Amino acid sequence: MDSLRGTGPSGPEAQPPNGNGRSRPRRTTIRDIARRAGVSESAVSFALNNRPGVSEDTRQRILGVAKELSWHPNSAARALSAARAGTVGLVFARPAKTLGIEPFFLQLVSGMQAVLSVRASALLFQVVENMAAEMALYRQWWSEHRVDGVLVVDPRVDDPRPALLVELGLPALLIGGPTSTGTVPSIWADDTGAMASIVDYLVGLGHRRIAHIAGLPELIHTKRRIDSFRAATRKYGLSTHDSVATDYSDEAGARETRQLLAEPGPPTAIIYDNDVMAVAGVGVAGELGLSVPSDLSVVAWDDSVLCRLTHPQLTALVRDTHAFGSHAAQQLLALIEGEAPHDVEDDVPRLEPRGSTAPPPLP
């Protein structure tokens, strides 16, 4: 009798304590499946991973048993032997105090996961204070084998991260555009085309004095927008100022708007690089006795509830952030699989005209 112990086609057996003090139930392993199906563990592995080495009959039988025992691979074991973590990392470097409204963020993440989840990858996500911490985290994750690759957001003009990623050999995708040191592949939205379409639209309405209140000048995409703004206004021979840079805050948006509107020959239309500043700008216009859109047209880059909470509602640039996230995840997974890196320019965003834009006042 005793000789049968441990060899029978039993499921999980008694629960040995696991050092933790508490005893957790033993999970089913491929060993359990092997025993019950009467084959070796390797056969089970072959069957479960859809690789040759077992007959179709046996494969089906094994799959049946696996389902019956509701087996799932232990991700740690798999990561250890297959040298694949099944995880990608995403870091947000931002001082805790400035963590504010991020309509962009959840959309992006949710888009990424639509792709990742079907490829059995998870997303390791972390918010840190600054870029130094972000880089330290990349080092740590990679050396601990925690991730197979990372998605890097907010690329900057002189960005130290690509060099690090190359040095580490950590597969990575820059979300937001190639940096000057273009050594890491990137995906980005067509800010240039988007800006051009906004200027086209405003000029079409009759505007000749257009301003652009931009975001952080260190960000690559801000640079693209600024450059494109200059090119577009030159194209039409408009005598506008250069874009003004801000930190994206409502205070900055209000301050710069006030500044612009106080000048002689003030703009009749302002393009804001985010919705928060646009709303702040509308507030300033109100204070100054200007009405939107009859005295001043306002366009917000990026759409969110905010743009629909104001009166009038804001004309905004909407983009499919969800899809953008999906594409990014796809690219990264391809990279991890060993595909040759290449840059990708995503779709051009669409301008959604609402109540905040109209022809300029008659001179």
Partner DNA sequence: CGTCGGAGCTAAACCGCATTAGTGCGAGCA
Partner DNA sequence: TGCTCGCACTAATGCGGTTTAGCTCCGACG
Cβ atoms of 357 and 321 within 8 Å: the answer is no
**350 is a contact residue toward a copy of itself (CB under 8 A):** no
- Identity of residue 167: E
- Residue 269's DSSP bridge partners are 210, 297
Q: Which residue is listed with tokens 């990424």?
A: 112
**30 is a contact residue toward DNA (CB under 7 A):** yes
**342 is a contact residue toward DNA (CB under 7 A):** no
**120 is a contact residue toward DNA (CB under 7 A):** no
Write out the H or E segment, with its range, that includes residue 305. helix 305-309
Q: How many residues does the chain have?
A: 363
Smallest gap from Cβ 34 to DNA, in A, equals 7
Smallest gap from Cβ 123 to a copy of itself, in A, equals 6
**250 is a contact residue toward a copy of itself (CB under 8 A):** yes
Range 14-48 burial, b when 16+ CB lie within 10 A, else e: eeeeeeeeeeeeeebbbebbbbbbebeeebbbbbb
Residues 52-71 that bind DNA (CB under 7 A): 52-55, 57-58, 71
**25 is a contact residue toward DNA (CB under 7 A):** no
Q: How far apart are CA 326 and CA 203, in angstroms?
A: 34
Grouping H, G, I as helix, E, B as strand and the rest as coil, residue 9 is coil
Q: Which residue is listed with tokens 């696991």?
A: 18
Q: How far apart are CA 93 and CA 202, in angstroms?
A: 35
**357 is a contact residue toward DNA (CB under 7 A):** no
Residues 13-32 that bind a copy of itself (CB under 8 A): 18-22, 24-25, 27
List the end-to-end C-alpha distance of the chain, in Å, as a whole number: 103
The footprint of DNA (CB under 7 A) covers 19, 26-27, 29-31, 38-43, 45-46, 48-49, 51-55, 57-58, 71-74, 77-78, 80-83
The footprint of a copy of itself (CB under 8 A) covers 18-22, 24-25, 27, 70-77, 79-80, 82-83, 85, 87, 92, 94, 96, 99-103, 105-107, 109-110, 113, 117, 122-128, 140, 143-146, 169, 250, 276, 279-280, 283, 286-287, 304-306, 308-311, 322, 338
